[in-house]
Amino acid sequence: MARGSKNPFARTRDDHALETAADYAELILRLTETEGEARAVRIAQILGVSPVTVSKTVQRLQRDGLLVAKPYRSLFLTPEGEALAIKFREKHAVVVEFLIRLGVPSVVAETDAEGIEHHVSELTLEAFRKFIGAGRPHQVDVAGRAKG
């Protein structure tokens, strides 16, 4: 079912399917920006998963057109993969800022936002932006945290 489905369970299943792709894309973008490259072994270390898990996920993301991987080389996002990473980085920053404005400690807000960002609708995200006074795309730092 499409994201706009009236069935909340179908939407949640769709969100879960996109969650891993978005997390990997965000991480690859961040590693490329901060370390100059994104390697599968580094992704496994950061996510606390096995290299085999990363390899299988990378194969799926490559098949889905989100990244390019060559043996013994870094991983590179396609334009579609980069757009996905930027979209979820921005969502994460808005959710974090919203939670902080509600009084949630920043460390907890960062952790909670990691799940919320994958399930919040555009309508709800827009309400968050209005609440925090950010009707424009939210600015984030390289790690995806809200600036200012």
Q: Is residue 90 part of a domain?
A: yes
Tens of pLDDT along the chain (148 residues)?
345 556 776 666 666 668 899 999 999 999 999 999 999 999 999 999 999 999 999 999 999 999 999 888 899 999 999 999 999 999 999 999 999 999 999 999 999 998 899 889 999 999 999 999 854 444 555 555 555 4
Residues 22 and 48 in one domain: yes
CATH (domain of 28): 1.10.10.10
Tell me: do 110 and 68 sit in the same domain.
Answer: no
If asked whether residues 76 and 18 sit together in one domain, one would say: yes
**pLDDT score at 85:** 96
Instruction: Kindly give, in sequence order, each residue whose CB lies less than 8 Å from that of residue 23, ignoring residues fewer than 6 positions away.
Output: 47, 88
Domain that holds residue 45: 8-80
Indicate if 66 and 28 belong to the same structural domain.
yes
Of 80, 97, 123, the domain-final residue: 80
Position 70 scores a pLDDT of 82
**Domain assignment of residue 125, yes or no:** yes
Secondary structure of the chain as H, E, C letters: CCCCCCCHHHHHHHHHHHHHHHHHHHHHHHHHHHHCCCCHHHHHHHHCCCHHHHHHHHHHHHHCCCEEECCCCCEEECHHHHHHHHHHHHHHHHHHHHHHHCCCCHHHHHHHHHHHCCCCCHHHHHHHHHHHCCCCCCCECCCCCECC
Q: What is the pLDDT of residue 119?
A: 87
- Cβ-based neighbours of 12, under 8 Å, separated by 6 or more: 119
Whether residue 46 is found in the same domain as residue 96:
no
Please indicate, yes or no, whether residues 57 and 100 belong to a single structural domain of this protein. Answer: no
Give me the pLDDT at residue 63, please. Answer: 95
- pTM, full prediction: 0.76
Q: What's the Cα-to-Cα distance from 44 to each of 83, 111, 136, rounded to whole Å?
A: 22, 19, 34
Residue 25 placed within a domain: yes
CATH number of domain containing 104: 1.10.60.10
Cβ–Cβ < 8 Å for 57, 47: no
pLDDT recorded at residue 71: 81
From the CB of residue 6, how many other CB atoms can be counted at a distance below 10 Å?
7
Check residue 92 and give its pLDDT.
94
Count of domains observed in the chain: 2
The pLDDT value given to residue 73? 86
Q: Are residues 73 and 87 in the same domain?
A: no
